[in-house]
Amino acid sequence: MASRIPIRRPRTAGAENETRSTHQAIQRGKAAVSRQTLSKPPSEKPVLVASTKSHATTSISAVEVPGSAKRKREALREVTDRNRSRALSITGKAKAGPSDGRKIIALPKKSAAATRVTKENARPVAGRSLTAVQEAIDVDEDDGPSAKRQRTSSVGPEEEAFVAAELGSASDDEEEADPDGDDWEDLDAADHDDPSMASEYVVEIQEYVRQTELKTMPNPKYILSQPEITWAMRALLNEWLIQVHLRFSLLPETLFLCANLIDRFLSTRTASTNKLQLVGMACLLIAAKYEETIAPAVENYVIISEGATTAQEMLTAEQHILRSINWDMSYTGPMHFLRRISKADNYAPHTRTLGKYLAEIYLLDHRLLGVPPSMISAAAMWLARLALGETTWTPTLAHYAGYRESALIPVANVMLRYLLQPIKHESFYKKYAGKRNLKVSVYMRQWVLARWPESAKVDLALDLAALKHDNRLKRSAQLGPEDDGDQTI
């Protein structure tokens, strides 16, 4: 698969420093800085470095890495990369290593003093109850303005008592669907004649993935053991990886696996800010090899990083990360569970696309790190249905999702509070603002701002009855009795 990534040649450090020296000499009248300080070999590459914790904001700037001793042997070729020849034909020739004898710098080794993590913080999350998940979600939440829901209907003050009584009676009559009940529809029965669906093993498969999702969850508080990295840097890295993932046209599973590898690696190892981008790129390389039919070549990652890393650094980081996670790639991401729930939702395209958008908030909001992927998918689909006018969480949906409606409210609250914040991650918002993704990010932002003030601390446990009542009124006013239930945005 040919790559359309443009080749951008970084500006040499020598030319940039000579210009800066001339400008300072003219403006300030100072003596020119010595040539040894300003001049650097033109083959040195700029690398991306994120600011440390002491800064209020996180940004990425280009700095220079000084040269070091000559490396002893050539970079190892990646025998599993089948696209190397294609990448070389795109770039014209293989990217040579540093010509100035600069030694390839690998990831820093874990030292006993700098990388010691307490047993409580380093232990991965497994077998957690819903109460523990709720406690993990409530960590580091800032108090926002009042979450009083804005009026979206024409109900006057004289009708408030009648509406309140109606909402109370509706909530009393509505019984919550039990995922372990017997009143659900077996949707897998229609697939018995299709060997590719493996419907006879569906129960065993679902039990297995529910175990692996807990085993491969990262430590939700690993940032406490990182001396330089912050949660904002994690969000900044994942936002950049969303752009790379979109540029390479990779599968959604690849993006979620990449984020999981980053979090699991940082749960057991410390990383400096100037190696954080390398960690992200190496995790995307591993995830693409695991999920994609045709994975991008290593040279493509080097090109898209604009010289911030080399192929040898990528391969060294890849081995280091895989050893850190004990070569365990049995991760079940939100997309598996989201597709399972979408089957119970008749594969509605708008609900599924909006659910994918809400599930990807996990990549940018650290408060969802302690939530299992199955619960993230269930909450995303439940909130998507609510935003599109649906009112019921049917027994079939509850069975295929595995969660009651009340268990999904805390996770949905985090998603809504993220959406009510000013847009901080433009790439993520624009990704789902296009026609290809049905402009669900635009629709969802308009929907939340029409019901709550910006930066509000939403509690759906208080507003859910009113939201469902509004959906029933709109559905009865706009849709006829013979309507087939199709959803539009």
Its pTM surpasses 0.85: no
Q: Is the pLDDT of residue 16 over 80?
A: no
Q: Where are the strands (E) in 36-139, listed by range?
A: 46-50, 60-64
Question: Which residues, in sequence order, are CB contacts of 382 under 8 Å at separation 6+?
Answer: 393, 397, 401, 405, 408, 412
Top-confidence range, 64-73, 155-164, 190-199, 464-473:
464-473
Judged by phi (left if over 0) then psi (alpha if -120 to 50, else beta), residue 438 lies in left
Note the pLDDT tens digit of each residue in 83-142: 444 444 444 444 444 444 433 334 444 443 334 343 344 333 334 455 556 555 654 454
d(CA 440, CA 448): 12
Token pair of 377 as six digits: 């998918």
The CA-based diameter of the chain, rounded to the nearest angstrom, is: 85
Token pair of 42 as six digits: 């033109």
Residue 107, pLDDT score: 41
Residue 173, pLDDT score: 55
Note the pLDDT tens digit of each residue in 240-288: 999 999 999 999 999 999 999 999 999 999 999 999 999 999 999 999 9
Helix, coil or strand: residue 352: helix
Compute CA distances 213 → 178, 402, 478, whole Å.
22, 14, 41
Three state DSSP letters for 414-470: HHHHHHHCCCCCHHHHHHCCCHHHCCHHHHHHHHHHCCCCCCCCCCHHHHHHHHHHH
d(CA 411, CA 370): 10
Mean pLDDT for the stretch of residues 384-411 = 96
Q: Cα angle vertex 212, ends 79, 186, to 5°?
A: 115
Tokens 């995303």: give the residue: 380
Compute CA distances 348 → 305, 352, 357, 378, whole Å.
37, 6, 15, 15
Of residues 221, 215, 211, the one with CA closest to residue 139: 221
| Rg of the chain, C-alpha, whole Å | 26
The percentage of the chain sitting over the pLDDT mark of 90, rounded to a whole number, equals 55
Token pair of 316 as six digits: 């060294």
Instruction: Place domain 157-192+334-478 in its CATH homologous superfamily.
Output: Cyclin-like (1.10.472.10)
Instruction: Place domain 1-6+85-120+227-331 in its CATH homologous superfamily.
Output: Cyclin-like (1.10.472.10)
Residue 69 pLDDT level (bands cut at 50, 70, 90): very low
Domains 1-6+85-120+227-331 and 157-192+334-478 alike in fold: yes
Tokens 């509000």: give the residue: 456
Token pair of 89 as six digits: 């034909």
Q: Is the pLDDT of residue 454 over 90?
A: yes
Average confidence score pLDDT of the chain:
76
Question: Which residues, in sequence order, are CB contacts of 376 under 8 Å at separation 6+?
Answer: 334, 337, 359, 362, 368, 411
Mean pLDDT for the stretch of residues 397-405 = 96
Domain definitions of the chain by residue range: 1-6+85-120+227-331, 157-192+334-478
Tell me how crowded residue 407 is: count the other CB atoms within 10 A of its CB.
Answer: 20
Q: Is the pLDDT of residue 164 over 80?
A: no
